[in-house]
Chains A and B, each alone.
Chain A
Amino acid sequence: MTVITDDLVLPPRRFSLWTGIRRNPTIAFGAVMLALLILMAVFAPLIATHDPFKIAPVNRLRPPSERWWFGTDQFGRDVFSRTIYGARVSLIVGLSVAVISSALGLALGIACGYFKRIDGFVMRIMDGLMAIPSILLAIALITLARPGLGIVIVAIIVPEVPRVVRVVRAVVLSIRSQPYIESAIAGGTRNMKLLVRHVLPNTLAPLIVQSTYVCASAMLIEASLSFLGAGVPLETPSWGNIISQGKTFFQIAPWTILIPGAFLAVTVLAVNLLGDGLRDRLDPRLARRL
Chain B
Amino acid sequence: MGVSAILEVRDLHTQFNTLDGVVRAVDGVSFDVARGETLGIVGESGCGKSVTALSILRLIPPETGRIAQGSIRFEGNELTHLSEQQMKSLRGHRISMIFQEPMTSLNPVLTVGTQIAENVVRHMNVSWAAARDRAREMLDLVRIADARRRLDEYPHQLSGGMRQRVMIAMALSCDPQVLIADEPTTALDVTIQAQILDLMIELKEKTGTAIVLITHDLGVVAETTERVVVMYAGRKVEEAPVEALFENPLHPYTRGLMRAIPRLDVEADAAGTRPRLQEIPGLVPILTQPIVGCAFAARCELATDRCRATLPPFVDAGGGHTVACWEVKL
Check if A192 is an interface residue, CB within 8 A of chain B.
Answer: no
- The answer to whether B288 and A7 have CB atoms under 8 Å apart is no
Q: Which residues of A contact B287 (CB under 8 A)?
A: 8-9
Q: Which listed residue (A5, A9, A11) contacts B16, Cβ 8 A?
A: A5
Number of A residues near B (Cβ < 8 Å) is 10
Which residues of B247-299 have CB atoms within 8 Å of chain A's CB atoms?
A: 283-288
Tally inter-chain residue pairs, CB-CB below 8 A: 41
In the complex, residue of chain A having the shortest beta-carbon distance to the beta carbon of B64: A2
How long is the Cα–Cα vector from A9 to B19 in the complex, in angstroms?
Answer: 13
Which residues of A253-278 have CB atoms within 8 Å of chain B's CB atoms?
A: none
Check if B2 is an interface residue, CB within 8 A of chain A.
Answer: no
How long is the Cα–Cα vector from A5 to B287 in the complex, in angstroms?
Answer: 11
- The answer to whether B45 and A10 have CB atoms under 8 Å apart is no
How long is the Cα–Cα vector from A11 to B19 in the complex, in angstroms?
Answer: 10
Check if A285 is an interface residue, CB within 8 A of chain B.
Answer: no
In the complex, residue of chain B having the shortest beta-carbon distance to the beta carbon of A7: B46
Q: Which listed residue (A1, A4, A9, A13) contacts B285, Cβ 8 A?
A: A9
What are 5 contact pairs spanning A and B, CB under 8 A? A4-B54, A5-B23, A9-B46, A9-B284, A13-B20
Given A5-B23, A9-B46, 8 further pairs, Cβ under 8 A: A2-B61, A5-B64, A5-B65, A8-B16, A8-B23, A9-B285, A11-B286, A13-B19
Q: With both chains docked as a complex, state the minimum distance between the C-beta of B97 and any C-beta of chain A, in angstroms.
A: 13
How long is the Cα–Cα vector from A11 to B288 in the complex, in angstroms?
Answer: 8
Interface string of B21-34 (1 = CB under 8 A from A): 00101000000000
- The answer to whether A1 and B61 have CB atoms under 8 Å apart is yes
In the complex, residue of chain B having the shortest beta-carbon distance to the beta carbon of A23: B19
Check if B114 is an interface residue, CB within 8 A of chain A.
Answer: no
Determine the interface band of chain B, counting residues with CB < 8 A from chain A: 20 to 34
Chain A interfacial positions (CB closer than 8 Å to B): 1-2, 4-5, 7-11, 13
How long is the Cα–Cα vector from A2 to B285 in the complex, in angstroms?
Answer: 20
How long is the Cα–Cα vector from A1 to B65 in the complex, in angstroms?
Answer: 10
Check if B164 is an interface residue, CB within 8 A of chain A.
Answer: no
How long is the Cα–Cα vector from A2 to B16 in the complex, in angstroms?
Answer: 10
- The answer to whether B25 and A8 have CB atoms under 8 Å apart is yes
How long is the Cα–Cα vector from A11 to B20 in the complex, in angstroms?
Answer: 7
Q: Which listed residue (A1, A5, A7, A13) contacts B45, Cβ 8 A?
A: A7
Q: Which residues of B contact A9 (CB under 8 A)?
A: 46, 283-287
Check if B18 is an interface residue, CB within 8 A of chain A.
Answer: yes
Q: Which residues of A contact B45 (CB under 8 A)?
A: 7
How long is the Cα–Cα vector from A5 to B285 in the complex, in angstroms?
Answer: 14
How long is the Cα–Cα vector from A8 to B19 in the complex, in angstroms?
Answer: 13
- The answer to whether A10 and B16 have CB atoms under 8 Å apart is no
Q: Which 7 pairs between the two chains have the least Cβ-Cβ distance? A: A1-B61, A7-B46, A7-B45, A5-B16, A10-B20, A8-B46, A8-B23
Check if B12 is an interface residue, CB within 8 A of chain A.
Answer: no
How long is the Cα–Cα vector from A9 to B46 in the complex, in angstroms?
Answer: 7
Given contacts A10-B23, A10-B288, A11-B288, contact A4 B283 (CB under 8 A): no
Q: With both chains docked as a complex, state the minimum distance between the C-beta of B72 and any C-beta of chain A, in angstroms.
A: 18
Q: Which listed residue (A2, A4, A11) contacts B51, Cβ 8 A?
A: A4
Check if B177 is an interface residue, CB within 8 A of chain A.
Answer: no
Check if B50 is an interface residue, CB within 8 A of chain A.
Answer: yes
- The answer to whether A10 and B286 have CB atoms under 8 Å apart is yes
Q: Which residues of B contact A1 (CB under 8 A)?
A: 59, 61
